[in-house]
Structure 1
C-alpha cells in the first residue's frame, strides 16, 4: 500500500502565490540580462562596441591586391617586366579589392537613366576575344530568365568609405567628411557578424554597402548548386537591411572566377538569377554589379600571362551589356586604385602604356560611360590613391612611379582624393563613391601589403585628406 500524504504537508494558497511571483521575477531578470548581453556583444548603438575581428582574421587576401602584384606573386617580377615591355597594352595593375552613412546628397542632375524595370535590348554581338567557351551546365538560357522585379531609385551622389570591419573605428572622421555610406567586404557565406554590422551602420546614421564574395569557393561560382547557396545568402543580407549589395568581386580574374568559365555573359547569368531574388527579399536594396579589375594586360580580350588568366575589363563590360546585364542591376560597379596623377589628367602617366585609359581616373569614367551610354549610373565601390611616404617605401609590386619609391606624397594623396570627389559629383553619372580605405592603417602595417598606404587615417592617426574630401562635398 502506498503511503498517504500528511495533511500537515499541504501547501497553502498564499505560498503558491508567493512562489509564482518569485518565479516570474526571476524569469524577467534572466531575460533582461540575456537581452542586454547580446545587445552589447553585437555593438549596440555605439560603434566602439561593435564586433571587432581579431587581427589574425585581417590578413592580406590575395584577391585584394592590384593586378601588378598578382603577376609579381604568381609569375615573378622578371616575367611581369617582360610582359609589360613586350606589349603596347597596360601592365596589369593588381588593384586592391581588400578585406573587409544620413540621406544621399544630391549632385548635378545625371543624364536620363532608364528605369531598371524597362528592359534593355540584349545583343548577340560578341566581343571576339573576350569570351572563352561558355559552359552549358552552369548558366541558364539568357532568354529564359524572369524580368527584374523592383528597382531602387536612381538617387543622387553618395560618399562613403570602406572600413576594416563593422566596428567603425573612425566614425568621427567619416562624419566630418560628410560620408553617408560605409562599405564592408564579406569573404564567405557564414555571415557571423553581418547582422550586427548592418545594425551598427544604421544606428550611427550610415547606409551600408556589403560587397559579397566567397574566397574558399570562388571556383564553384558557376555551379548551379553553389549559385543557389550564394543567392540564398544574398537574400539573407538584403532581408537584414543592407542598403546595397555588390554581387561578387572582379570576375575578370582567375583569383575570383574559374578561368575556363570566365566571361561577361557568364557573369550576367549569375546577375539574372540573383537580381529578382534580392529585390524580392528587400526592394530597397541597391544591386551593384561586381566591379572589374581595370587592366589592359590581356591584349583586348582574355588570355594568360604566366599562371594568371584574365580578361580586360573593357570587353568584359561590353559583353555584359550585350548579354542584357543592365536589366539585372541598379548600378555598374567600378574600381580605380592605380592612379599616380591628378584625377583630371588624361596623359603624362610615367609608366609604360601611358596612353591606356586605366592609368587615369577620367579615362576610366569616360570608357565606362561610353559603354553604358547613360543607361545606368556608375558606382565606384573602390577608389583610392597609394602613398608610402610614412614608411619610405612600397612593396615592389606596388611601387609604380619610376621617379618615386613612395608613388606620391601624403599631401598629393589628400589632394587627389578631394579632386576625385569633386570631379565625380560634377560628372552626373556617379551614384556612389566609396573611398578605399578609411582606417586600414590603424590595424595594418606595410610589409608586403600596401593596404595601409591607401588609408585616409594615416599611421600617426592623422587624416590629411579629411579636409580635402569634406571641402569637395556641399
Structure 2
C-alpha cells in the first residue's frame, strides 16, 4: 500500500511539473512567431518580411550556414509579429495561347509584347523552363499578334536614362537584387566551336521569369586561344539572339592574349571580323537588342602602345573608332574593378603609376567616353570593389585590396552608381558580382560579391538608398 501511495505521489509530481513547463512555453514563443520555409524563401527575404535581421534569425535558430535552409523548415522569428496576409491577386485576363512545338516562354512573350514574368504570374507556373505542346497559357493584356514583320539590320534603341544590374551565377538572390534597385541581370556565356545556344536560352528565360532584363556576355571558352572561329561565333550569336535577350556583349577583353590569340591582337580585326558581323546578325534577328562592345582589360602594362602582343585599352579604343566601331555598337563596354579609393576621388592612389586613368572611376568614365568622341554612351558590364574582410588573406596579385573593408565596399558601389547616373554618360552599370563564392586559387571572386559570407548584403542597402 505504501508503495502505491509513493507511486501516485511521483506520478502526480511529474504531471504537475509537465503542466508548469507547458504553461511557460507559450510565454517564450510569444516573444516571436514561427515561419515555415516555403519554396523560394531565403533568410534575407524572410528577415525583410518580418522586419528583423538575418543575423537574428541565424542566432535564434542555430543556423550554421545562412545560405542553406530547406522547404518545410520551421524558423523562430525573434521579436516579430505575424505579417499581414498577402492579398490574392485577381484572375488574369487576356488572350489564350496554345503552346506549339519548339516554343519557349521567351518567344511567346516577345510575340505578344509582354514579359515572361507576366505570363508566369498569370498562369501560376512553377517552372518557367517547363511548358508542354498543347498547353493553354493566358497572356495577360496581350492581343492576338499580327504577322511578324521581317526585321531589318537597323540600329536599335540606345538605352535611355540610367539602369542598374548585377552579374550572377544564378537568381537565388533575386529579391536582394530588386531591393538594391537592379533591373538587369548579367550572365556570361562561353562559346566554343559547335556550341548550342540552348544554355543561353535557359538563362534568358530564367532572368525574364524573375522580372529582370537580361544581358548576355558572350566570350570564348578557351583562355589563351590559338585562334578564333569567327564564322562559328557569328552563327552562335545569331542563335543566342533568337532567344530574346535584352542586350548582348560581344566578346571580352580582346586587348590581352588571355582572350585573343597572342601576336594577333588587333582592334581592326575585332571590329571588322567580330563586332560588325555580330551587330548585323543580332539586329537582323531583333533590332531592339542592345549591342555592347566587348569591354577591354583596363591596363597601362603596354606603355600606352597597341601591338599584336597586347594593347593598353585607351589606344585600342581609338583604333576601334578609326575602324568604324561606332556604327556597330549601341554602347561601349567598360570594366572597372581595381579601385581602392572612393569613386569620387581622382588622385591619391598609393600604388605605382598613381596618375594612370585606370586607377580612378572618373578618369575611366572620361577616357572611354572621349575615346569614341562621345558618340556612344557607356555600359559598365563589370564594376566591382574587392574586400577580403570576411574571407582572409588575398592572393599576392590582389594584395592591393587588403585594407578595403566591407563597409567601404558597400559605400563605394553606391557612390559609383550615384555618380554614373548623374554623369549623363553612363546608361548601364552591372555590379560585379552578386553571388560568387570562389575564393581559393588566384581569383578571389567572392571578395567582390555583394552577398557576403554570412549571408548579409550591406551593399543592397546602400544601393537601395541611392536608387529609390
TM-score in terms of structure 1 length: 0.65
Please name the residue that 2:217 is paired with: 211
Aligned counterparts of 1:396 and 1:151: Cα–Cα separation in 2: 44
1:10-25 to structure 2, matched below 5 A, reads none
Aligned counterparts of 2:287 and 2:243: Cα–Cα separation in 1: 12
Please name the residue that 2:455 is paired with: 461
Preserved CA contact (<8 Å) 1:148 1:276: yes
Please name the residue that 1:296 is paired with: 300
Please name the residue that 1:266 is paired with: 269
Please name the residue that 1:10 is paired with: none
Which stretch of the first structure deviates more once superposed, 211-220 or 459-468? 211-220
Structure 2 residue runs of 5 or longer lacking an equivalent are: 1-98, 107-116, 130-151
Shift of 1:47: 11
Match of 1:431 among 422, 427, 430: 427
Aligned counterparts of 2:284 and 2:364: Cα–Cα separation in 1: 33
Aligned counterparts of 1:50 and 1:357: Cα–Cα separation in 2: 44
Aligned counterparts of 1:323 and 1:407: Cα–Cα separation in 2: 42
Shift of 1:217: 7.9
Please name the residue that 2:282 is paired with: 278
SS of the residue corresponding to residue 260 of structure 1 reads coil
Deviation readout 1:396-416 (Å, 9 max, x if unpaired): 111115xxxx24000000010
Deviation readout 1:202-260 (Å, 9 max, x if unpaired): 111100000001223873655xxx21211111111111101000000000000101122
Preserved CA contact (<8 Å) 1:379 1:433: yes
Please name the residue that 2:28 is paired with: none
Match of 1:198 among 201, 204, 213: 204
1:121-136 to structure 2, matched below 5 A, reads none
Aligned counterparts of 1:148 and 1:298: Cα–Cα separation in 2: 37
Aligned counterparts of 2:177 and 2:280: Cα–Cα separation in 1: 33
Aligned counterparts of 1:155 and 1:218: Cα–Cα separation in 2: 36
Please name the residue that 2:356 is paired with: 356
1:325-404 to structure 2, matched below 5 A, reads 325-401=325-401
Preserved CA contact (<8 Å) 1:47 1:171: no
Larger Rg computed on CA atoms: 2
Please name the residue that 1:317 is paired with: 317
Shift of 1:159: 0.4
Preserved CA contact (<8 Å) 1:235 1:277: yes
Please name the residue that 1:163 is paired with: 168
Aligned counterparts of 1:215 and 1:196: Cα–Cα separation in 2: 18
Distance 1:221 1:268, change over 3 A: farther
Match of 2:177 among 171, 174, 177: 174
Shift of 1:193: 2.1
Distance 1:219 1:448, change over 3 A: closer
Root-mean-square deviation (Å):
3.0
Structure 1 residue runs of 5 or longer lacking an equivalent are: 1-31, 52-146
Deviation readout 1:437-467 (Å, 9 max, x if unpaired): 00113xx334533100000000111001111
TM-score in terms of structure 2 length: 0.66
Preserved CA contact (<8 Å) 1:50 1:197: no
Aligned counterparts of 1:336 and 1:48: Cα–Cα separation in 2: 37
Aligned counterparts of 1:374 and 1:394: Cα–Cα separation in 2: 38
Aligned counterparts of 1:170 and 1:50: Cα–Cα separation in 2: 17
Aligned counterparts of 2:306 and 2:332: Cα–Cα separation in 1: 21
Preserved CA contact (<8 Å) 1:386 1:453: yes
Match of 1:250 among 236, 253, 258: 253
Distance 1:374 1:280, change over 3 A: same
Please name the residue that 2:234 is paired with: 231
